[in-house]
Amino acid sequence: MASLPKRIIKETERLITDPVPGITAEPHDDNLRYFEVTVEGPVGSPYENGIFQLELYLPDDYPMEAPKVRFLTKIYHPNIDRLGRICLDVLKTNWSPALQIRTVLLSIQALLASPNPNDPLANDVAEDWIKDEEAAKQTAKKWSKLYATPKQ
């Protein structure tokens, strides 16, 4: 494997020494481009108290190409599908190499705080969300409890 670009080393160091509140990201021992991520559900959202696991991978062309991020924890959210794929503009058309791992993870946390059923990835969830937001939020809460509660 090619040596790790300085930028990735710097970003990783900063993620560890100066972590974003509510977010952890640790590189894998044998692949420093692969990160195990946890994101706490934002306070006041149906995901509150949940801890969600994600995987983040920096493609060879990073930062020309956005990181690939996916939820590993099951989540009920109109912009996250069954496979954990995330519909978020900065991961796609609005990616810029001026963004970083930390800004991407912050955007994901913000997406949990404000779901956008009008730009869905999980269509059925989005439909529920538009039809009856309260009920959808209850389901999201239930799922968080079921799947995103750390086992003690």
Partner 1 sequence: MKLDIKRVNPVFTWSWDTRDPAAAKDRQYPFLYNYYPVDVEKAHLENGNAVDGDEDEDVCGICRASYNGTCPSCKIPGDSCPLVAGLCHHHFHYHCIFRWLDTNTSKGLCPMCRQQFQLNSKLPINRPYLEKFESITKAIRERVFLDEAFDGNSQQEEYGNEMPSDSGGTGQERRSADQSDLEEDEEEQEDSFYGHLDVNIE
Q: How far is the CB of 31 from partner 1 (least distance, A)?
A: 14
Adjacency order of strands within the sheet including 34-40:
23-27, 34-40, 51-57, 68-71
Q: How far is the CB of 112 from partner 1 (least distance, A)?
A: 19
Q: In this chain, which stretch among 6-14, 20-28, 36-44, 135-143 interacts with partner 1, using CB under 8 A?
A: 6-14
Distances (CA, A) of 28 to 12, 32, 47, 79, 104: 11, 6, 26, 27, 18
74 is a site residue for partner 1 (CB under 8 A): no
Q: Which is nearer to partner 1, 50 or 120 (CB)?
A: 120
Contacts of 14 (CB under 8 A, 6+ apart): 102
Catalog residues that contact partner 1 under the rule CB under 8 A.
5-7, 10, 14, 57, 59, 61, 63-66, 68, 70, 83, 85, 87, 89, 91-93, 95-98, 118-123, 126
